[in-house]
Amino acid sequence: MTRQSVQLTVNGATRTVEVEPRKTLADAIREDVGLTGTHLGCEQGVCGACTVLLDDEPVRSCLMFAVQAEGHQIRTIEGVAQDGQLHPIQEAFSEYHGLQCGFCTPGMILASLHLLETNPAPTVDEIKEELGGNLCRCTGYIKIVEAVQAAALTMTSEAGR
């Protein structure tokens, strides 16, 4: 099948990849850009493990074609820590045991990042609403909610400094 040249901007860096038009954004990020932190749990658009931020909005990268992402800003889990420093959400997921096997974690963290960037002090119901499309099979979610609450406090207090 013919390949097409696509410019993908991932975590601020733009690169050109040659992909078949049918290649999903998730596969292009993983195989062509080489960032494997975006995980594929179902490729049916349900589990949310492949969540990335496209122009700061969460999308399921398994349901998009790579060619559709040209001209958009993509953020993946690899772009969440800055200058070698974990983001407060990443710290909180570890501290509150909001992850076990870690497979859903990148998607969970990106969905949480979107939430806290748009709503710095979410209620528990708002956290559940945002993460309702991300499945976790290990934790039972309770500690994920605690982690997001803790991260919100940290981010708010850091922003106030």
Partner 1 sequence: MTATVGRETRRWIGESVRRREDLPLVQGKGRYAADLEVPGMVHMAVLRSPHGHARIRGIDASRARALPGVFDVISAADLAGIGEFPVLWRLPGLKPSGIPVLARDKVRYVGEPVAAVVAESRYVAEDALDLIEVDYEPLPAVADVEAAIAPGAPVINDAWGDNIAIKHVVSGVNAKGEAGDVEGAFAAAHTVVTGRFKINRFSGVPLETRGLLAIHDPLSGDLTLWSSSQVAHKLRTQLSEVLNFPEASIRIRTPNLGGGFGVKWDAYPEDALVCILAQRLGRPVKYIEDRREHLQATVHAREQLHELEMAVAEDGTVLGIRGRIYCDLGAHPHSVGIGPAWVTGVSLTGQYAIKNLSCDVYAIATNKVPSSTFRGFGGPEATFAIERLMDKAALALAMDPAEIRRRNYIQPDEFPWFSAGGGVFDSGNYPGLLEKALAAVGYDALRDEQARLREQGVHRGIGIGAYIHTAGFGPSMVLGLLSYYTSGYEGSTIKVDPGGNVTIYTGMIPMGQGTETTLAQVAADQFGVDIDKVKVVWGDTSQTPYTGFGSAGSRSNVAAAAIIKAGEVVKAKAERIAANLLEASPDDVVYADGAVTVKGSPDKRVELREIAEQAYLAHRLPEGDQPTLEGTYVYDPALFTIASGCHIAVVDVDVETGELKIVKYVVVDDAGTIINPLLVEGQIQGGLAQGFGGAQLEEFVYDEDGQLLTQSFMDYLLPSIHEMPDVEIHHQVTPSPHTPGGFKGMGEAGTFPPGPALANAVSDALRPLGVEVDAMPITSNAVWALLQR
Footprint of partner 1 (CB under 8 A): 1, 20, 22-23, 30, 35-44, 46-47, 49, 76-78, 80-81, 86, 90, 93-95, 97, 99-106, 109, 128, 131-145
As a residue count, the chain comes to 161
Instruction: Please state the closest distance from residue 30 (CB atom) to partner 1, in A.
Output: 8
Instruction: Please state the closest distance from residue 8 (CB atom) to partner 1, in A.
Output: 17
Instruction: Please state the closest distance from residue 86 (CB atom) to partner 1, in A.
Output: 7
Q: What angle do CA 61, 85, 126 make, to 5 degrees?
A: 50
Instruction: Please state the closest distance from residue 28 (CB atom) to partner 1, in A.
Output: 12
For residue 2, count CB atoms less than 10 angstroms from its CB and return exposed for 0-12, middle for 13-18, buried for 19 or more: exposed
**Contact of 152 with 121, CB cutoff 8 Å:** yes
Question: How many C-beta atoms surround the C-beta of residue 79 within 10 A?
Answer: 19
Contacts 24+ apart (CB under 8 A), 81-85: none
**Contact of 26 with 15, CB cutoff 8 Å:** no
Instruction: Please state the closest distance from residue 144 (CB atom) to partner 1, in A.
Output: 7
Q: Give the nearer residue to partner 1 in terms of CB position, either 114 or 128.
A: 128
Q: Give the nearer residue to partner 1 in terms of CB position, either 49 or 54.
A: 49
CA–CA distance, 135 with 62 (Å, rounded to integer) = 15
Q: Give the nearer residue to partner 1 in terms of CB position, either 85 or 160.
A: 85
Q: Give the nearer residue to partner 1 in terms of CB position, either 101 or 121.
A: 101
CA–CA distance, 53 with 31 (Å, rounded to integer) = 18
Q: Give the nearer residue to partner 1 in terms of CB position, either 125 or 161.
A: 125
